[in-house]
Amino acid sequence: MFEKLNQLIPFGNFIRNKSIQNFIFLAIIQSSNVLISIISVPLLIQSIGVDQFGLVNLALSVIILLNILVGFGYNLSAPREVAVSQNDKTALSHLVSNIFSAKLILALLASVLVLGGIFVFGLFEGYQVILIYSMMILFSEATLPLWFFQGMEKMKLISIANIFSKLLFLMGIVLFIHDPDQSQWVNFMMGFFGLGINLLLLGYIHGVMEIRFFRPEFATIWKSLTENILLFFSNLASYISISGGLIILSFFSPASTLGMYSLAEKVAMVLRLFPALIVQAIFPNASKLYQEDQQAFFKFLRNTYGKVLFGGLLISLGTFGAAPWIIKVLSRSDLEESTQFLKILAFLPFLACLNVGNITLMLVADLKNLLFKASWMMCLYMVSISAILTSQLGPLGLCYGILSTEVVAFFICLVLLYQRKKHLLLGLFS
């Protein structure tokens, strides 16, 4: 029976497909992050309380925003450069050394910005100590070699390392976080264990894969930064549009409300990773098809786009129906406000899936300028509408603002592509 089934569906070829492998390993990384995040929520709420849980997540939002600076678009540009230099150890060594050096310099710059904001301008009142301890995550991001293993098409090791790092973080919560006064250690441990595992991976890259680490070449680093600046601003705008809601809400609501909202937002943002994961997984194969056979590329993207929309709809409907149960499991109590927020945000994954086709077209066609414009138009809309609605309706207004941003983002990308690259849209939707 299996032989007949294998004739109909060639499982060997299916598994060997690079897009499928990328998706599987990226899914393993993201699903382990999701699982640990879900497990840690009730543990943290019980140990540090909803108020401190909200402040910890607020500090994490600020740090992740600064991680966009640390990443500086290398998550998109570096895998391609590594793939091109796979067979040249010397060139690859210089490339790896310069990227890690650049990211460490950017991590130091981000740390200076945090400390300057706290001690010079008195910003981040109420969670300054938590934010200072959270800076460890910046250096964890700087040393994360995910882009290297993506380019080398060897994702298995970093998938295992990521799981191990998250398990250490979960163990740290269980062993060391027992009362609200220890809340500053939550994000610190996330960064500390991540940094430790990353350093071991760097040892593996140097010792086993024979990649040498050279002194930073500042001229080359500066050139790469200038080339990535549009990607950086695009990523920054996208993050603000997607995850900046908690920061906006902090200007209008107390810590208890932040905790209620952040619980629902954490679930919604985890589910919103689905379309982003798809784009990352299909990007290498889609780029090759676009260069070699555009007809095959459009057929591939159409098939993927339809399946992504259907999958996103199922995720959203399932989350909407299961919202009370999800909140009860995570908080171990009936939090009606969080349930209400989650029911609204449940439709975020499906609405985000609308833009998968547009974003993929922009990436494979190397339309950095269009992506930059679309990202910042979306960002400006999100900040404006969310601030207005949050000031009037509180967290509910923020939920509506975030949902509307996804719809507006879809139409922004659609219009920009139609104006500049009409043939791409015709190829996708014809």
Write down how long the chain is.
Answer: 430
* 168 lies in the same domain as 262: no
The model's confidence at residue 61, banded by pLDDT at 50, 70 and 90, is confident
More confident of the two residues 12 and 42: 42
More confident of the two residues 137 and 158: 137
Flag whether 356 is in a domain.
yes
Nearest to 22, CA basis, from 400, 283, 300: 283
* 39 lies in the same domain as 115: yes
Residues 277-286, mean pLDDT to the nearest whole number: 76
> Taking 80 as the threshold, does the pLDDT of residue 26 lie above it?
no
* 273 lies in the same domain as 175: no
φ, ψ (nearest 5 deg) of residue 332 = 60, 30
Counting the structural domains of the chain, the total is: 2
Flag whether 392 is in a domain.
yes
Flag whether 63 is in a domain.
yes
Residues 179-197, mean pLDDT to the nearest whole number: 94
* 416 lies in the same domain as 337: yes
Flag whether 11 is in a domain.
no
What mean pLDDT, rounded, does the chain reach?
A: 86
Q: Decide: helix, strand or coil at residue 293.
A: coil
What number of CA atoms fall less than 13 Å from residue 390's CA on the CB side? 26
* 251 lies in the same domain as 222: no
Flag whether 9 is in a domain.
no
For the ranges 1-10, 181-190, 230-239, 303-312, the lowest mean pLDDT is seen at: 1-10
Kindly give, in sequence order, each residue whose CB lies less than 8 Å from that of residue 103, ignoring residues fewer than 6 positions away. 70, 71, 72, 74, 141, 142, 143
Range of the domain at 397: 244-430
Q: Final residue of a domain: which of 178, 204, 231?
A: 231
pLDDT in tens, 93-145: 999 999 999 999 999 999 999 999 999 999 898 899 999 999 999 999 999 99
Q: Final residue of a domain: which of 181, 207, 231?
A: 231
CB 328 within 8 A of CB 403: no
* DSSP codes, 22-80: HHHHHHHHHHHHHHHHHHHHHHHHHHHHHHHHHHHHHHHHHHHHHHHHHHTTHHHHHHH
What's the confidence (pLDDT) of residue 262? 82
* 95 lies in the same domain as 174: yes
Flag whether 38 is in a domain.
yes
Query: Does the CA dihedral 83-86-91-95 come out positive or negative?
Result: positive
Q: Final residue of a domain: which of 231, 255, 275?
A: 231
* 309 lies in the same domain as 220: no
Q: How far apart are CA 163 and CA 177, in angstroms?
A: 20
